[in-house]
Amino acid sequence: MQLGRDFLKALRQIEEEKGLPIEIIASSLEAALVSAYRKHKGGDQNLEVHLDLENGEISLFEIRMVVEEVSSPDLELSLAQAHEMGYLDVVHGDVIRIEVSPEGFGRIAAQTARQVIIQRIKDAERQVIFDEFANRVGDLVNGIIFKTEGEHILVRLNDRTEAILPREERIVGETYSPNERMKFFLLDVRRTTRGPRIVVSRTHPGLLRRLLELEVPEIQEGVVEIRGIVREAGTRSKIAVATLDPNVDPVGACVGTKGSRIKSISSELRGERMDIIIWHSDPLQFIRNALSPAKILKVEPVLETDRAVRVYVRPDQLSLAIGKAGQNVRLAARLTGWKIDIKVLEPERMPTLQDLFEDIIKGGSSDIWEEKQE
């Protein structure tokens, strides 16, 4: 069968528009013709299809075995039948390829092939998308807010790929306006009957990690290492950093000149406040650092409880150590992996004149009471 140059031009156009290799398109067409032929002929033939991509010619062959007694006409033929067809030098057990082009098959083949080709191309396109993003789970991706669909927001990653931003992966209070460009953490990629299901996140700690790697060259180069990140997305996060280079200030590197680096990241995360702290191998010192910006007087392990400490602060530092709604101590506990109990330690001081006067008054009142009792 001759399909012609126009047909080949159409295949090349599909290759360009869909970004699929011509070999995948050709194999889709071959599978379509097999399906169409079986439907037209009404059987379960063993078929071979060859598509010449140079001139648009398609050859279709039925593969049959020469047998003594034919039990499956679709797959076998007798020696006499083979001789009638011109295969004179065959013997029992030989396999022959019979080129076929039944009358009227071209029109039926075109109709059936169209649907099969479309489906195969869709499947191949979905596989290309899956392969492209499955290996990028955990990476930073750019996307444009597309539309809201039920509980999900759809994010367009490129011309042919959309991702889902579920409610639980959205920053509370953050608005997602159509055509707005944002950065996302690629959370998951799975195969489904409707194609790859790609899930992105705005709340995952990995998003903050990737933004830091993007913004801070010292992290990219491995001079500064991120040892831990915890977030309450959109409000506050804590990042523990360390370095083996004594000439590098890991906190300063992350913050940048006049806070330029951290401000850029905070702006991307809608003003999320970030505490950059020094990681320490001594857990008690690490806990002290993690409670920054509060000033800690003392950290004591609770011997009767595993991985628990009591932290002592002055009265004026208590609210800072605990944080709004307990956020500071909660994040510090998650970052360090220790239970933290904040206690107030009253400072020792010399008695004042007011203290002495109050003691005298109390003493006098006591004497008067005793006299009345007598």
28-75 pLDDT, tens digit each: 778 888 888 888 788 888 988 887 777 767 788 999 999 999 999 889
What pLDDT sits at residue 369?
37
Q: Which CATH number fits domain 205-279: 3.40.50.300, 3.20.20.80, 3.30.300.20, 1.10.357.10?
A: 3.30.300.20
What pLDDT sits at residue 337?
96
Q: Which of the pair, 16 or 363, is modelled with greater confidence?
A: 16
What pLDDT sits at residue 125?
82
Q: Which of the pair, 203 or 160, is modelled with greater confidence?
A: 203
291 band by pLDDT with thresholds 50, 70 and 90: very high
What pLDDT sits at residue 42?
81
pTM for this entry: 0.71
pLDDT winner (highest mean) among 69-73, 107-111, 114-118, 283-287: 283-287
pLDDT greater than 90 at residue 25: no
For residue 73, the 8-state DSSP code is T
**pLDDT tens by residue, 245-277:** 999 999 999 999 999 999 999 999 999 999 999
Lowest mean pLDDT among 74-88, 119-133, 213-227: 119-133
What pLDDT sits at residue 120?
72
Contact criterion met (CB below 8 Å) for 317 and 294: yes
Q: Rounded to the nearest 5°, which phi and psi values hold at 120?
A: -65, -40
346 band by pLDDT with thresholds 50, 70 and 90: confident
Percent of the chain with pLDDT over 70: 86
pLDDT greater than 70 at residue 349: no
What pLDDT sits at residue 222?
94
Biggest alpha carbon–alpha carbon distance for the chain: 144
**Fold match, 205-279 / 282-374:** yes
- Pairing mode, if any, of strands 140-149 and 181-190? antiparallel
What pLDDT sits at residue 367?
42
Could you tell me the CATH superfamily of domain 4-133?
NusA, N-terminal domain (3.30.1480.10)
Q: Where are the domains of the chain?
A: 4-133, 136-203, 205-279, 282-374
Q: Which residues of 141-164 are buried (b: 16+ CB within 10 A; e: fewer)?
A: bebebbeeeeebbbbbbeeebbbb
For 221-230, what is the mean pLDDT? 96
Q: Which of the pair, 156 or 14, is modelled with greater confidence?
A: 156
Q: Which of the pair, 313 or 367, is modelled with greater confidence?
A: 313
What pLDDT sits at residue 220?
93
Looking at the DSSP assignment, which residues form a beta bridge with residue 88?
Answer: none
Average pLDDT of the chain to the nearest whole number: 86
Lowest mean pLDDT among 15-24, 43-52, 332-341: 15-24
Distance of CA 209 to the CA centre of its chain: 13
Lowest mean pLDDT among 75-79, 84-88, 102-106, 311-315: 102-106
CATH number listed for the domain at residues 282-374: 3.30.300.20
Nearest to 81 by CA among 98, 100, 60: 98
Q: Which two tokens stand for residue 208?
A: 């903050």
Contact criterion met (CB below 8 Å) for 182 and 243: no
113 band by pLDDT with thresholds 50, 70 and 90: low
pLDDT greater than 90 at residue 212: yes
What DSSP string runs through 82-151? HHHTT-TT--TT-EEEEE---TTHHHHHHHHHHHHHHHHHHHHHHHHHHHHHHTTTTSEEEEEEEEEETT
CATH architecture of the domain with range 136-203? Beta Barrel (2.40)
